[in-house]
Amino acid sequence: MTILDETDACYLPATQLVDLYQRKTLSPVEVTKDVLARISTVNEPVNAFVQIDEEAALTEARKSEARWMVGEPCGFVDGVPATIKDLLLTKGSVTGRGSKTSIGAEPETEDAPSVENLRKHGAIFIGRTATPEFGWKGVTDSPLTGVTRNPWDITKTPGGSSGGAAVAAALGMGALHIGTDGGGSVRIPAGFTGVFALKPTAGRIGVYPPSFFGTLSHVGPITRTVEDAAMMMNVMNQPDPRDWFQLPLDPWDYRTELDLGVRHLRMAFSSDLGFAEVDSEVAEIVADAAKVFEELGATLETQDPGFTDPIEYFEKHWYWGCHQMISSYSDDVRAELDPGLVEVAEIGAGYSLAEYSQAIHDRVELGYTMNAFHTDFDLLLTPALAIPAFEAGLEVPDPAPGKRWTEWTPFTYPFNLTGQPAAVVPCGFTKGGLPVGLQIVGPRYADPLVMRVAAAFEQACPFEMPKASIGA
């Protein structure tokens, strides 16, 4: 087998890699070596990885190469380099969770469902990607592994909490990246780093161990192309008995209808959901992106979905989860945690049963509102984020009207509450050269439709990668 140019190989989509493996014109071993070499070149300034296992990756790559040479791949992504967010269990590896509480922990004895399914299908796990402590906030820095930075401008944040995965995707450090999303955590960094991400319908991909954030928590793909994410969905959505909430098997091939376009679809565009304050440059870029769908044959109407900002009851769910997460820790251990995490956990500890019950009721009402909205509209389009990426190492921009990450993510957390599928696609750049993302929201269970619409936009407005930004 022969190898292409290193940069080309690192940036090849998983779909193309599999095709080249099948034709025996490219080797999983050579691709894995190239990805590892790329990591050694570009990772240090951005700090996307917290663990890299070169020996294990190359061992699995050799096994994959042997399978391809005899025409017997073990699955859909055999030989494709992949990464795992450092919140997800990975057999034989310590789960750091961005926390000093993991120091001295034993390696895991089992995989999380998404990891297990990708492993069964032959993915080559390169390493684990950075997360804030326990994934609690919308930027990626932690007491354990420090600050992760944006490849388009390393003084800026990539967002979070799956910031390491998004940075790895943007810089060609693997083709497939597993993230988690409890309030926007695959979509926020996708928007800030210019890659694709999908938060699937709640329950579509198995979650284990159960999240302290309950059904807010989702597992989803981060990739450089929509089709690669579709390939990941085909693999990761397999049922797992460890997740009592997981939906029944969906036999749908997520790649089947990606090329069907958007003609005759009814789309609503909301620039601010009726309540958000949005950076003017971001608003203009996203509005122009939404018009692309009209040009592609969809019906586009400016329409807010009809709910007020759910930040208060989202934070009740979120802060209560943070409280539960650290409630067993002593004062000495808490002193080593992210101070912001401790602050919100203490707020969560103060909620009464009546307050939490009301938050659950409000969540139900929000779900009802969105169900009704989607009787009139197939999809909702919004900005991914209210602002461009800001300084790395901060939870909020300086100056900022609020103290918490939820203040600048009004477009993401509502759809964790409703459990709807929501994708983010890159749709342009600010004058300062920072990516801007468009969010595509569908009704529950309409994941294939969301991805089809994202693919139509990708084809009309191809995504750009920062090949030359960091030492490439």
Helix (H) or strand (E) holding 415: helix 414-418
Nearest to 447 by CA among 168, 232, 165: 232
Reduced to 3 states (helix: H, G, I; strand: E, B; else coil), residue 343 is: helix
Does the annotation mark 85 as catalytic?
yes
pLDDT at residue 290, as a whole number: 98
pLDDT of 9:
85
Residue in 142, 161, 162, 270 annotated catalytic: 161
Q: What is the pLDDT of residue 470?
A: 59
Look at residue 3 in the predicted model and tell me its pLDDT. Answer: 36
d(CA 356, CA 239): 31
In angstroms, rounded to a whole number, what is the distance separating the alpha carbons of residues 38 and 34? 6
- What is the pLDDT, as a whole number, of residue 300? 98
Whole-angstrom distance, CA of residue 221 vs CA of residue 64: 22
- The span from the CA of 462 to the CA of 450, in Å, is 17
Q: What is the pLDDT of residue 467?
A: 56
pLDDT in tens, the chain (472 residues): 333 444 478 999 999 999 999 999 999 999 999 999 999 999 999 999 999 999 999 999 999 999 999 999 999 999 999 999 999 999 999 999 999 999 999 999 999 999 999 999 999 999 999 999 999 999 999 999 999 999 999 999 999 999 999 999 999 999 999 999 999 999 999 999 999 999 999 999 999 999 999 999 999 999 999 999 999 999 999 999 999 999 998 888 999 999 999 999 999 999 999 999 999 999 999 999 999 999 999 999 999 999 999 999 999 999 999 999 999 999 999 999 999 999 999 999 999 999 999 999 999 999 999 999 999 999 999 999 999 999 999 999 998 878 999 999 999 999 999 999 999 999 999 999 999 999 999 999 999 999 999 999 999 999 887 754 554 4
* Residue of 27, 93, 162, 185 marked catalytic: 185
pLDDT at residue 252 in the model:
86
Give the whole-angstrom CA distance, residue 188 versus residue 131.
13
150 near 72, Cβ under 8 Å? no
Annotation: CATH topology of 6-460: Amidase signature (AS) enzymes (3.90.1300)
Which of 27, 33, 85, 99 is an active site residue? 85
The phi, psi pair for 307, rounded to 5°, reads: -125, 155
Residue that is written with structure tokens 């932690």 in the block: 142
DSSP assignment of 145-164 equals TEE--BTTBTTB---SSSHH
- Catalytic residue flag (residue 469): no
Closest by CA position to 297, among listed 403, 407, 452: 452
pLDDT at 250: 84
pLDDT of residue 194: 97
Cα–Cα–Cα angle for 422, 398, 290, nearest 5°?
30
**H or E segment at 223?**
strand 218-223
Beta strands in 86-130 (DSSP E): 124-129
CA distances to 54, 91, 104, 111 from 108, in Å: 18, 5, 12, 8
CA distance 438 to 383: 5
DSSP category for residue 265: -
Report yes or no: 150 and 63 within 8 Å, Cβ to Cβ.
Answer: no
- Sign of the Cα torsion 170, 174, 176, 181 reads negative
For position 8, what pLDDT does the model report?
Answer: 73
Strand (E) positions, 366-406? 379-383
